[in-house]
């Protein structure tokens, strides 16, 4: 059973100037405080069901509004402020004389919250617009407010310009960024228990934006740098995935086929190198094969199984892997020659692109042997594939 029954006209009377000037905890203010507590009790279960794991708190004292200096307000806030952390991003329900605000507030103090949003907009800005447009549609105005109003209207009318102004509002002056809905006391929904469900929906839809901003104050654990361990290349045997897992038969057959081709090509390349006295090495789960000459260049090989349909995609992936392994694993101190080994011969245009533009040698499987272009053969010297 819901304990929250909505706000009545007498609740807003507590915010008349004559009453909010009183310091004592009067009956009108106490009534609003208890209704906010009931709202929190009903909200907790709904928010947990929607995946919002935050602890809320209710204020029983007057809060001076940052954007309305002549008014006082009471609030329900998620997460609950702890210690001196009153200036963290939070989801809130704020009640004052002529409005009930439901939404997200982000503090201006310290630009790290806004910097998080700016980074997100630069990468996935349109996602913000799409998510905000999914908020519940109703007659209440959706507002984005910093030092000045950035936007006020319907969520479907928000453009990229308003989102950018939101993320950059810390440059406008000292203020809170406010994103959410403004309900007038005359709104009938405020007087109904169903307001709990509406608040839960708004909170859960804005929770993703809260998490982006909140990363600025949540401590993050630094990643430990792990040293890559080289070991002599060991000949591999293909495993039958279909014997260990009986589901997704089609995908498993494809995976097993590509795995067998990858192992076959890698073993063949390792055999050719060893026959010429080249002791090749590998790094598990990253480098397929690498051969390093003392006081000379390193030969880095990336093997890709492919077919006619995915050869371009596999080559694209192999290029990025070669560059990544050269930089993060081998380092840039010594010269490294890069080679991409594929199951099929790439087209002439792809070979030209790899050799002339990317400086990557092209090797492919030709029946039971490996073949390469003339340019790649010169780069492989003194290694010979034949």
pLDDT in tens, the chain (386 residues): 678 889 988 888 887 777 766 666 677 788 888 999 999 999 998 998 888 888 899 987 766 655 555 667 888 999 987 766 667 888 999 998 888 999 988 876 556 666 666 666 655 555 565 566 666 665 677 877 766 667 777 776 776 666 666 666 544 445 677 888 888 888 888 989 989 999 998 898 888 778 877 765 443 445 555 666 777 888 877 666 555 444 445 455 556 556 788 899 999 999 999 988 888 888 887 888 998 887 788 899 999 999 888 899 999 999 999 999 888 888 765 689 999 999 999 999 999 999 999 999 999 998 889 999 999 999 998 888 87
Segments forming the whole domain that contains residue 303? 231-380
Helix (H, G, I), strand (E, B) or coil at 177: strand
Both 287 and 340 in one domain: the answer is: yes
Both 26 and 165 in one domain: the answer is: yes
pLDDT at 82: 75
Q: Which helix (H) or strand (E) holds 181?
A: strand 177-183
pLDDT at 2: 73
pLDDT at 217: 41
pLDDT at 318: 93
Asked if the structure places residue 224 within a domain, the reply is no
pLDDT at 332: 62
Residue holding tokens 């204020």? 59
Helix (H, G, I), strand (E, B) or coil at 295: coil
Q: What angle do CA 30, 28, 188 make, to 5 degrees?
A: 105
Q: What is the CATH classification number for the domain harbouring 235?
A: 3.40.1350
Asked if the structure places residue 149 within a domain, the reply is yes
Q: Which two tokens stand for residue 169?
A: 């509002």
Local structure of residue 336 (DSSP, 8 states): E
Per the structure, the count of domains in the chain is: 2
Both 135 and 246 in one domain: the answer is: no
Strands of the sheet containing 369-372, edge to edge, are 231-232, 281-282, 289-292, 298-304, 336-342, 360-366, 369-372
Both 205 and 244 in one domain: the answer is: no
Both 43 and 174 in one domain: the answer is: yes
Identify the bridge partners of residue 283 per DSSP, sorted by sequence position.
none
pLDDT at 147: 61
Both 110 and 253 in one domain: the answer is: no
Both 235 and 210 in one domain: the answer is: no
Q: What angle do CA 356, 325, 378 make, to 5 degrees?
A: 35
Q: Which two tokens stand for residue 212?
A: 């982006």
What are the start-end ranges of the E strands in 230-313? Answer: 231-232, 281-282, 289-292, 298-304
For residues 302 and 320, the answer to whether their CB atoms sit within 8 Å is: no
Both 151 and 45 in one domain: the answer is: yes
pLDDT at 87: 74
Both 169 and 69 in one domain: the answer is: yes
Asked if the structure places residue 31 within a domain, the reply is yes
Query: How far is residue 297's CA from residue 290's CA, in Å, rounded to a whole number?
Result: 11
Q: Which two tokens stand for residue 290?
A: 């690498």
């Amino acid at each position: 059973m819901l304990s929250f029954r909505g706000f009545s006209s007498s609740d807003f009377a507590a915010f008349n100037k004559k009453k909010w000037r009183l310091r004592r905890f009067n009956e009108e203010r106490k009534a609003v405080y208890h209704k906010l507590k009931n709202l929190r009790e009903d909200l907790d279960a709904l928010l947990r069901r929607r995946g919002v794991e935050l602890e809320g708190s209710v204020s029983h004292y007057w809060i001076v509004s940052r954007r309305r200096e002549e008014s006082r307000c009471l609030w329900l806030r998620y997460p609950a402020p702890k210690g001196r952390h009153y200036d963290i991003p939070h989801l809130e329900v704020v009640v004052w004389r002529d409005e009930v605000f439901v939404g997200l507030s982000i503090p201006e103090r310290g630009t790290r919250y806004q910097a998080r949003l700016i980074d997100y907009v630069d990468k996935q800005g349109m996602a913000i617009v799409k998510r905000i447009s999914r908020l519940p549609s109703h007659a209440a105005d959706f507002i984005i407010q910093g030092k000045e109003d950035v936007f006020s209207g319907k969520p479907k009318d928000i453009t990229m310009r308003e989102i950018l102004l939101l993320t950059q509002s810390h440059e406008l002056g000292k203020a809170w960024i406010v994103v959410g809905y403004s309900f007038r006391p005359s709104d009938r929904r405020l007087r109904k228990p169903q307001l709990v469900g509406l608040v839960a929906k708004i909170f859960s839809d804005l929770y993703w934006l809260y998490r982006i901003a909140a990363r600025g104050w949540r401590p993050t654990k630094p990643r430990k740098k792990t040293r890559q361990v080289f070991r002599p290349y060991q000949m591999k045997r293909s495993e039958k995935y279909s014997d260990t897992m009986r589901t997704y038969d089609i995908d498993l057959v494809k995976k097993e086929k590509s795995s067998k081709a990858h192992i076959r090509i890698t073993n063949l390349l390792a055999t050719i190198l060893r026959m010429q006295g080249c002791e090749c090495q590998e790094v598990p789960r990253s480098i397929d094969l690498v051969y390093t000459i003392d006081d000379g260049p390193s030969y880095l090989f990336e093997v890709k199984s492919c077919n006619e349909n995915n050869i371009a995609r596999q080559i694209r992936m192999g290029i990025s892997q070669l560059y990544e392994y050269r930089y993060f694993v081998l380092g840039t101190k010594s010269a490294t020659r890069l080679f991409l080994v594929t199951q099929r011969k790439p087209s002439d245009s792809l070979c030209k692109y790899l050799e002339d533009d990317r400086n990557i040698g092209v090797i492919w499987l030709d029946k039971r042997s490996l073949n390469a272009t003339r340019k790649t053969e010169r780069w492989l010297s003194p290694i010979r594939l034949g």
